[in-house]
Amino acid sequence: MSEPSAASPRSRWVRLLLAAFAIFTVFVLAGLGTWQVQRLFWKRDLIARIDARIHAEPAAPPAKAEWPQVNARDDEYRRLRLHGIFDNSKETLVYASTELGPGAWVIVPLKQADGTTILVNRGFVPNEKRDPQGRSAGQPTGETEVTGLMRMDEPGGTLLQSNRPGEDRWYSRDVTAIAAARGVTDVAPYFVDADATPNPGGLPVGGLTRVTLPNSHLMYAITWYAMAIGLAAALVQVFRRRW
Protein backbone atom coordinates (compact mmCIF):
# COMPACT_ATOMS: atom_id res chain seq x y z
CA MET A 1 0.00 0.00 0.00
CA SER A 2 3.00 2.32 0.38
CA GLU A 3 3.98 2.30 -3.31
CA PRO A 4 1.08 4.41 -4.65
CA SER A 5 1.55 7.03 -1.92
CA ALA A 6 5.24 7.29 -2.85
CA ALA A 7 4.50 7.57 -6.57
CA SER A 8 1.83 10.23 -6.18
CA PRO A 9 4.11 13.03 -4.82
CA ARG A 10 6.69 12.21 -7.47
CA SER A 11 4.02 12.50 -10.15
CA ARG A 12 2.91 15.85 -8.76
CA TRP A 13 6.48 17.13 -8.86
CA VAL A 14 6.82 16.04 -12.46
CA ARG A 15 3.61 17.85 -13.37
CA LEU A 16 4.74 20.97 -11.54
CA LEU A 17 8.09 20.95 -13.33
CA LEU A 18 6.40 20.49 -16.68
CA ALA A 19 4.00 23.33 -15.91
CA ALA A 20 6.88 25.60 -14.84
CA PHE A 21 8.78 24.77 -18.00
CA ALA A 22 5.69 25.49 -20.13
CA ILE A 23 5.17 28.86 -18.40
CA PHE A 24 8.84 29.69 -18.91
CA THR A 25 8.48 28.78 -22.60
CA VAL A 26 5.52 31.15 -22.94
CA PHE A 27 7.67 34.02 -21.67
CA VAL A 28 10.53 33.03 -23.97
CA LEU A 29 8.23 32.97 -27.01
CA ALA A 30 6.73 36.34 -26.05
CA GLY A 31 10.26 37.71 -25.61
CA LEU A 32 11.24 36.51 -29.07
CA GLY A 33 8.17 38.23 -30.49
CA THR A 34 9.12 41.49 -28.77
CA TRP A 35 12.68 41.15 -30.07
CA GLN A 36 11.36 40.79 -33.62
CA VAL A 37 9.24 43.94 -33.16
CA GLN A 38 12.40 45.79 -32.16
CA ARG A 39 14.19 44.35 -35.19
CA LEU A 40 11.26 45.48 -37.36
CA PHE A 41 11.72 49.13 -36.39
CA TRP A 42 15.50 48.81 -36.75
CA LYS A 43 15.14 47.39 -40.26
CA ARG A 44 12.68 50.09 -41.29
CA ASP A 45 15.10 52.76 -40.09
CA LEU A 46 17.97 51.06 -41.95
CA ILE A 47 15.97 50.88 -45.18
CA ALA A 48 15.04 54.56 -44.89
CA ARG A 49 18.67 55.58 -44.30
CA ILE A 50 19.98 53.54 -47.22
CA ASP A 51 17.25 54.83 -49.51
CA ALA A 52 18.23 58.39 -48.57
CA ARG A 53 21.90 57.66 -49.35
CA ILE A 54 21.13 56.13 -52.73
CA HIS A 55 19.10 59.14 -53.85
CA ALA A 56 21.33 61.83 -52.32
CA GLU A 57 23.56 64.10 -54.36
CA PRO A 58 26.93 62.41 -54.97
CA ALA A 59 29.62 63.42 -52.49
CA ALA A 60 33.41 63.34 -52.60
CA PRO A 61 34.96 60.08 -51.41
CA PRO A 62 36.32 59.93 -47.84
CA ALA A 63 39.89 61.22 -47.53
CA LYS A 64 42.61 58.77 -46.52
CA ALA A 65 42.54 60.06 -42.93
CA GLU A 66 38.87 59.04 -42.74
CA TRP A 67 39.34 55.47 -44.00
CA PRO A 68 39.58 53.90 -40.51
CA GLN A 69 36.10 55.25 -39.72
CA VAL A 70 34.44 53.85 -42.86
CA ASN A 71 31.93 51.13 -41.94
CA ALA A 72 28.91 49.34 -43.40
CA ARG A 73 26.39 50.81 -40.95
CA ASP A 74 27.19 54.45 -41.73
CA ASP A 75 28.60 54.33 -45.24
CA GLU A 76 27.31 51.38 -47.29
CA TYR A 77 25.56 52.62 -50.48
CA ARG A 78 26.69 56.23 -50.07
CA ARG A 79 26.60 57.92 -53.46
CA LEU A 80 30.05 59.16 -54.44
CA ARG A 81 31.61 61.09 -57.30
CA LEU A 82 35.20 60.11 -58.10
CA HIS A 83 37.85 61.70 -60.30
CA GLY A 84 41.01 60.01 -61.42
CA ILE A 85 42.74 57.88 -64.03
CA PHE A 86 41.91 54.21 -64.59
CA ASP A 87 44.80 51.75 -64.73
CA ASN A 88 43.23 49.40 -67.26
CA SER A 89 46.33 47.20 -67.27
CA LYS A 90 45.39 46.04 -63.74
CA GLU A 91 41.81 45.08 -64.50
CA THR A 92 40.40 42.18 -62.47
CA LEU A 93 37.42 40.04 -63.43
CA VAL A 94 35.16 38.77 -60.65
CA TYR A 95 32.66 36.03 -61.47
CA ALA A 96 29.08 37.32 -61.60
CA SER A 97 25.65 36.08 -62.55
CA THR A 98 23.12 38.82 -63.28
CA GLU A 99 19.88 39.31 -65.15
CA LEU A 100 22.11 39.67 -68.21
CA GLY A 101 23.43 36.14 -67.73
CA PRO A 102 26.76 34.71 -66.52
CA GLY A 103 29.88 36.81 -66.84
CA ALA A 104 32.10 39.00 -64.68
CA TRP A 105 32.36 42.28 -62.85
CA VAL A 106 35.16 44.44 -64.21
CA ILE A 107 37.18 45.83 -61.28
CA VAL A 108 39.67 48.56 -62.20
CA PRO A 109 41.89 50.73 -59.96
CA LEU A 110 41.16 54.45 -60.21
CA LYS A 111 44.15 56.56 -59.12
CA GLN A 112 43.16 59.91 -57.63
CA ALA A 113 45.05 63.19 -57.64
CA ASP A 114 46.22 62.69 -54.03
CA GLY A 115 47.93 59.42 -54.97
CA THR A 116 45.37 57.13 -53.36
CA THR A 117 43.45 54.50 -55.31
CA ILE A 118 39.85 53.33 -55.25
CA LEU A 119 38.82 50.05 -56.84
CA VAL A 120 35.85 50.68 -59.12
CA ASN A 121 33.42 48.01 -60.23
CA ARG A 122 32.86 49.46 -63.68
CA GLY A 123 30.08 47.00 -64.42
CA PHE A 124 29.24 43.66 -66.00
CA VAL A 125 30.57 41.92 -69.10
CA PRO A 126 29.28 38.59 -70.49
CA ASN A 127 31.63 35.64 -70.69
CA GLU A 128 32.27 36.15 -74.40
CA LYS A 129 33.58 39.65 -73.63
CA ARG A 130 35.94 38.82 -70.78
CA ASP A 131 38.97 39.55 -72.95
CA PRO A 132 39.60 43.32 -72.62
CA GLN A 133 40.92 43.47 -76.21
CA GLY A 134 37.42 42.74 -77.42
CA ARG A 135 36.03 45.83 -75.66
CA SER A 136 38.88 48.30 -75.90
CA ALA A 137 36.45 51.11 -76.74
CA GLY A 138 35.13 50.89 -73.18
CA GLN A 139 38.51 51.46 -71.55
CA PRO A 140 38.84 55.19 -70.83
CA THR A 141 42.19 56.94 -70.75
CA GLY A 142 43.04 60.22 -69.09
CA GLU A 143 41.09 61.99 -66.37
CA THR A 144 37.73 60.29 -65.79
CA GLU A 145 34.70 61.04 -63.63
CA VAL A 146 32.78 58.15 -62.06
CA THR A 147 29.57 58.28 -60.05
CA GLY A 148 28.52 55.26 -58.06
CA LEU A 149 27.69 53.64 -54.75
CA MET A 150 30.16 52.85 -52.00
CA ARG A 151 30.32 49.14 -51.22
CA MET A 152 32.12 47.31 -48.44
CA ASP A 153 35.00 44.89 -48.92
CA GLU A 154 34.04 41.25 -49.61
CA PRO A 155 37.00 39.26 -48.26
CA GLY A 156 37.71 35.61 -48.92
CA GLY A 157 35.14 34.75 -51.55
CA THR A 158 31.60 33.43 -51.37
CA LEU A 159 29.93 30.73 -49.30
CA LEU A 160 30.52 28.20 -52.07
CA GLN A 161 33.76 29.43 -53.65
CA SER A 162 36.94 30.86 -52.19
CA ASN A 163 39.00 33.38 -54.11
CA ARG A 164 42.16 31.93 -55.65
CA PRO A 165 44.53 34.85 -56.21
CA GLY A 166 47.32 32.57 -57.39
CA GLU A 167 45.09 31.33 -60.22
CA ASP A 168 43.52 34.76 -60.81
CA ARG A 169 40.10 33.33 -60.02
CA TRP A 170 37.84 35.71 -58.12
CA TYR A 171 34.36 35.13 -56.73
CA SER A 172 34.00 38.20 -54.52
CA ARG A 173 35.19 41.79 -54.65
CA ASP A 174 37.98 41.33 -52.14
CA VAL A 175 39.60 44.77 -52.09
CA THR A 176 42.68 43.84 -50.06
CA ALA A 177 43.47 40.65 -51.97
CA ILE A 178 42.85 42.18 -55.41
CA ALA A 179 45.05 45.18 -54.60
CA ALA A 180 47.84 42.89 -53.39
CA ALA A 181 47.57 40.66 -56.46
CA ARG A 182 47.76 43.68 -58.78
CA GLY A 183 50.49 45.47 -56.85
CA VAL A 184 48.30 48.48 -56.02
CA THR A 185 49.06 50.47 -52.87
CA ASP A 186 47.25 53.17 -50.89
CA VAL A 187 43.91 51.54 -51.69
CA ALA A 188 40.67 52.63 -50.02
CA PRO A 189 39.07 49.89 -47.83
CA TYR A 190 35.94 49.88 -49.97
CA PHE A 191 35.03 49.75 -53.65
CA VAL A 192 32.54 51.70 -55.74
CA ASP A 193 29.84 50.26 -58.00
CA ALA A 194 29.65 52.53 -61.04
CA ASP A 195 26.21 53.82 -62.00
CA ALA A 196 24.38 53.22 -65.27
CA THR A 197 26.19 55.95 -67.23
CA PRO A 198 26.81 54.24 -70.61
CA ASN A 199 30.39 53.31 -71.47
CA PRO A 200 31.72 53.64 -75.03
CA GLY A 201 31.02 50.46 -76.93
CA GLY A 202 28.30 49.52 -74.43
CA LEU A 203 30.59 47.59 -72.06
CA PRO A 204 30.95 47.18 -69.17
CA VAL A 205 27.28 47.60 -68.18
CA GLY A 206 27.07 49.62 -64.97
CA GLY A 207 24.19 50.41 -62.67
CA LEU A 208 23.38 46.78 -61.84
CA THR A 209 23.67 47.17 -58.07
CA ARG A 210 20.65 45.57 -56.42
CA VAL A 211 19.80 46.85 -52.96
CA THR A 212 17.62 44.18 -51.39
CA LEU A 213 16.91 44.36 -47.69
CA PRO A 214 14.22 41.79 -46.85
CA ASN A 215 12.01 42.77 -43.95
CA SER A 216 10.16 39.74 -42.57
CA HIS A 217 10.36 40.72 -38.91
CA LEU A 218 6.63 41.47 -38.62
CA MET A 219 5.79 37.95 -39.82
CA TYR A 220 8.31 36.48 -37.37
CA ALA A 221 6.88 38.57 -34.51
CA ILE A 222 3.33 37.42 -35.27
CA THR A 223 4.54 33.80 -35.38
CA TRP A 224 6.29 33.98 -32.01
CA TYR A 225 3.37 35.80 -30.35
CA ALA A 226 0.88 33.30 -31.81
CA MET A 227 2.90 30.39 -30.43
CA ALA A 228 3.06 32.09 -27.02
CA ILE A 229 -0.69 32.72 -26.99
CA GLY A 230 -1.44 29.17 -28.15
CA LEU A 231 0.73 27.61 -25.45
CA ALA A 232 -0.70 29.94 -22.80
CA ALA A 233 -4.25 28.99 -23.82
CA ALA A 234 -3.38 25.30 -23.61
CA LEU A 235 -1.96 25.81 -20.11
CA VAL A 236 -5.12 27.60 -19.00
CA GLN A 237 -7.21 24.68 -20.22
CA VAL A 238 -5.01 22.19 -18.36
CA PHE A 239 -5.17 24.16 -15.12
CA ARG A 240 -8.94 24.57 -15.40
CA ARG A 241 -9.36 20.82 -15.73
CA ARG A 242 -7.12 20.21 -12.72
CA TRP A 243 -9.03 22.77 -10.64
Write down the domain spans for the chain. 2-51+216-242, 78-202
For residue range 74-102, list pLDDT tens digits in order.
999 999 999 999 999 999 999 999 999 99
**DSSP code per residue over the chain:** -HHHHHHHHHHHHHHHHHHHHHHHHHHHHHHHHHHHHHHHHHHHHHHHHHHHHHTSPPBPPPPGGGGGG--HHHHTT-EEEEEEEE-GGG-EEEEEEETTEEEEEEEEEEE-TTS-EEEEEEEEEEGGG-SGGGGGGG---SEEEEEEEEEE---SB-SS-B-BGGGTB-SS--HHHHHHHHT--SEEEEEEEE-SPPPGGG-SB-----------HHHHHHHHHHHHHHHHHHHHHHHHHH-
> Which architecture, in CATH terms, is 78-202?
Beta Barrel (2.40)
For residue range 165-215, list pLDDT tens digits in order.
999 999 999 999 999 999 999 999 999 999 999 999 899 999 998 877 677
Q: Which of 3-7, 49-53, 162-166 tops mean pLDDT?
A: 162-166
pTM of the model: 0.76
